[in-house]
Every structure is written in C-alpha cells, then in structure tokens.
Amino acid sequence: MTDFITTYGGTLLRGFLWTIILVTGGFAIGSVFGALLASMLVSKKKLVGWLARSYVELIRNTPFLIQAMLLFALMGVLRLRLEPVLVGLVAVAIYSAAYMAEIIRGGLNSIPNGQREGARALAIGPLLQFRLIILPQLLPFVLPASVNLLATLCKESAFLAGVSVAELTFSGQVVITQTFLIFEVWAIIGVLYLVLVLSIMALAQFLERRMSWVNPAR
Amino acid sequence: MKYLLGAVDTVPLLLDGLVTTLLICGLASILALVGAVCIVAARRSGIGVVVWTAKVYVTLMRGLPIVILVFLLYFGVPALFDLGRVSALWVGVLALAMNGAAFQSEVLRGAIARLPNGQTEGAYALGLNKFQLWRLVLTPQVLPIALPALAGEIGFLIKASPVLSLITVVDLTRRAQQVTMQTFDPLGPLLAACFLYFLLIGSISWVSRYLETRLTVGRTR
C-alpha cells in the first residue's frame, strides 16, 4: 500500500488538483458570462433576450459529454492546437454559464419590482441601486445555489476523461494501465470525489442556513 | 449536395443509437422510481439501521460522479470478485437506476413533507389502515406535487446516459463517434446527435414545466 502511494499517489494527486483547477477556473469564467447572460435574459429587448434564452436552453438540454466532444471537434476543424486541459476548462465554463444565468435570473426575478421603482423614486442611480438594493438581496439567493452548481460541476467534470483531459478520472485510467489494481484505484478516486463534492455541498448548506435571514418577498 | 446525401445515409445509424438511448433511459427511469419508493419507505421505517443505511446510500449517490459509479461497477467490481466480463448495457442501466433512485427519493421525500400532518391524522381518525392511508389519501396528493420534479430527474438521467458510451455501449453518443470515424466528418454526426438529445431532453423539460403549471392550479399557498 505504501509502495502504491509513493509510486502512484503523485499521479492521482495531480489529477485531483487538475480537476479542482478545471472546475474552479471554469466556474469563475462561467459565472462572469452567466451574469452577463442573466442580464440579457431579463432585458426588455426581445432579440437580446431570445439569444440568451436559446443559449441557456441549448446548453441545459444537452449532455455535457456531447458538448465537450463538439468543442474538441470544433478545435480540430479550426486547427487550434490548445492544451486539452484548457479546452476542458472552456467546456466547463460554457456549461456553467448557462446554469449560472438561470440561478441569477431566478434571484433577480425574486426581487419585487417595487424595490426598483422605490429606488428610482428616491433618485438613486442605477449603479447605486444595484449595489445597495439589488445585490444584498441577490447574494443570499445566488451564493448557496452557485456553490451547489460548483458541486455539480465537479461531478460532471469526470466526463472530461472521455475526451482525454488529464483530470482525476483520466489519471485513474493511467494508473490502472500500469498497476491493474482496477477496483482499488476506482475506489480511491471515488473517495476523493466524495470528499470534494460532499464538502462543497456542506458549504452550500452552511451558506443557505447562514443567509436564510433574507426571505426575499415573493 | 453530395455531403447532404452522405449525411442522409448515416441517419438510420444515429436513429438506432437513439433507440438504444431511449431503451436504456426508459428502463433505468422505471427501476429508479421503484428504488426511490423503497428508499423513501426505508427512511420512514423508523428502524435505526435501515434509516441510516438509506441516508448513507443517498449521500453516497449524491456525492459520487456517475462516471466513477459506472467504472466501479463495470471495471472494479468484476475485477474484485473475478466475475469475468459483465454486460455493459445492464451495468449501465443499473448504475443510472442506482443514481436516479437516490435523487428521485429526495423528490418524493420533499413532496411527502409538504403534505400537512392533518391528512394522516384525519385518515387514522376515520379508521383507515396504513395501506389505505397511502393508497387513498397520501399518494394521490403526493404525485401531483412530485411529478414535475420527477420528470426533471428523468431529464437529468438522460443527460447522464452518454456515460454508457464510455463503457462500450453503442448508444447515441457512441453511434455519433462511429459515424465520425466512418465519414471523416468531425462535426456533422456530433451535431446531429446533439440535436437529437436536445429534442429528447427539451421535450421532457417542457413536459415538466407544463405539468408544473397544470397541476398547481388551485393549489396556491
């Protein structure tokens, strides 16, 4: 066992770190685009709203593996030679942007319009209105949900092994071809994913409890 | 034009994959629902060990990626017990069902928790036994609450089903890859598969949303 850990522990640990980098990086980029998409979703311009809606529906209603495969194929067609890990990160970002947009849109919709009208009546400008009135009510809604999304992303990222991105699941395949310890390696990897996902879920639950003081008027 | 004609030739192959995917997901959904009912029953049984086991199972399934579950069941378990080759299709269906059961049980539990306690108390006061309580009073009320979310869970199950293509099951995803190999067209087959998945999952989320608006009429709280 100690032999196994000293020889292959590094490979697995590197895979684990890459999974974390992929997921958090993709989540960060996806959050920025998700916020942008959410503002498009609630915009009054029909075309803008329609564009954002079709992106969100397209991503939310197709499997992640197919999206990743398409992205890799597209990179091939465009003759872009990028690191697979980088393409995987983009895939996670594309995926999470759609889900993030829906989370933020839900939060924005839960804030009654009277708040915005009241702010306008008090002559509070749009920037200050967002910072003082919208954001404090949005965060308690968005934070727990987006941390839950992060947990989902960790699980979905395992699909990236199917397109040879060197993350945790892929590193397991590599170690198995060298050791033939099939069950043991998948069990170790399973435990690593469990620890990661369950601790993120616990964080989401903590945030939810912590922020339940805000009951957005619905 | 030639491209289009070539593409039409590959349609039956893709449709064959779609049928396999439908079969897998249909079977897995039914098994998952049965499993979910068992899990809910176990969690309400009041027997410490059983309740605890069900809770641990649900937590495990919620924390473990479906890919790892499938690899454990298809590669790991047969290697551990020296079972030789097992059927990838059935292992895949089992894994999807195991995963789906945990998530569907949470939906059912949430729906049951939303029923007021007075329903149970009233039923007992009228002299109904436990079976009658569930058949006549609780289930007819739980189903409309749970159905939209259950449909949503089936959507998630279909979205997870390409995992079977990783263990050699020839589903829609794998078919698309095969067609890519044959035609040297990197994008077309994948886009077609993506479109078919979109139709499938999109129609289920549409049904889920329809059920939600339809079934919540007159039940505003």
Helix (H) or strand (E) holding A163: none
Closest CA to B23 of B15, B34, B33: B15
- In the predicted model, is pLDDT for residue A39 greater than 70? yes
Within a domain: residue B34? yes
Nearest to A186 among B59, B68, B160 (CB): B68
Q: Residue B107: which CATH number?
A: 1.10.3720.10
- B190 → closest Cβ in A58, A69, A154: A69
Read off the tokens for B68: 């790892």
Residue B70 is assigned to a structural domain of this protein: yes
- Do the Cβ atoms of A57 and A129 come closer than 8 Å? no
Q: How far is A138 from chain B (nearest CA, A)?
A: 23
pLDDT in tens, B121-157: 888 888 888 888 888 888 888 888 888 888 889 999 9
Q: Which residue has the tokens 């979109």?
A: B198
Indicate whether B88 pLDDT > 90: no
Residue B126 lies in domain = 13-220
Mutate to test the interface with A, among B21, B62, B71, B220 (most CBs of A within 10 A): B71
On whether any CB of chain B is under 8 Å from the CB of A66, the answer is yes
Asked if residue A10 has pLDDT above 50, the reply is yes
Closest Cα in chain B, distance from residue A43 (Å): 22
In a domain, B168, yes or no: yes
User: CB-based contact (8 Å) between A80 and chain B?
Assistant: no
Domain count, chain B: 1
Least confident of A114-118, A133-137, B1-5: B1-5
Instruction: Return mean pLDDT, chain B.
Output: 87
What CA–CA distance (Å, rounded) separates B171 from B165?
A: 6
Chain A contact set for B191 (CB, 8 A): 70
Whether B211 maps to a domain, the answer reads yes
Band of the pLDDT at A104, cuts 50, 70, 90?
A: very high
pLDDT grade for B200, boundaries at 50, 70 and 90: very high
Of the candidate CATH numbers 1.20.200.10, 3.40.50.720, 1.10.3720.10, 1.10.1740.10, the domain formed by A2-210 belongs to 1.10.3720.10
Q: List, for residues A119-132, the tens digit of each pLDDT value.
A: 888 888 888 888 88
Amino acid occupying residue B113:
A
**Cα A107 from Cα A134, distance rounded (Å):** 9
Residue A218, pLDDT above cutoff 50? no
**B29 located within any domain:** yes
Residue B26 maps to a domain: yes
pLDDT-derived band at B182 (thresholds 50, 70, 90) equals confident
C-alpha to C-alpha distance for B118 and B116, rounded to whole angstroms: 5
Q: What percent of chain B has pLDDT over 70?
A: 95
Going by the DSSP 8-state scheme, the letter that residue B95 receives in this structure is H
User: Residue ranges per domain, chain A?
Assistant: 2-210
Give me the residues of A, 114-173, that contact B with CB < 8 A. Answer: 154-159, 161-162, 169, 172
Q: Is residue A155 within a helix (H) or strand (E), and if so which, with residue range?
A: helix A135-156
Judge whether B41 lies within some domain. yes
Which pTM value belongs to this model? 0.88
User: If you ran DSSP here, which 8-state letter would residue B129 be given?
Assistant: -
pLDDT (average), residues B159-188: 87
- Is B3 part of a structural domain of the chain? no
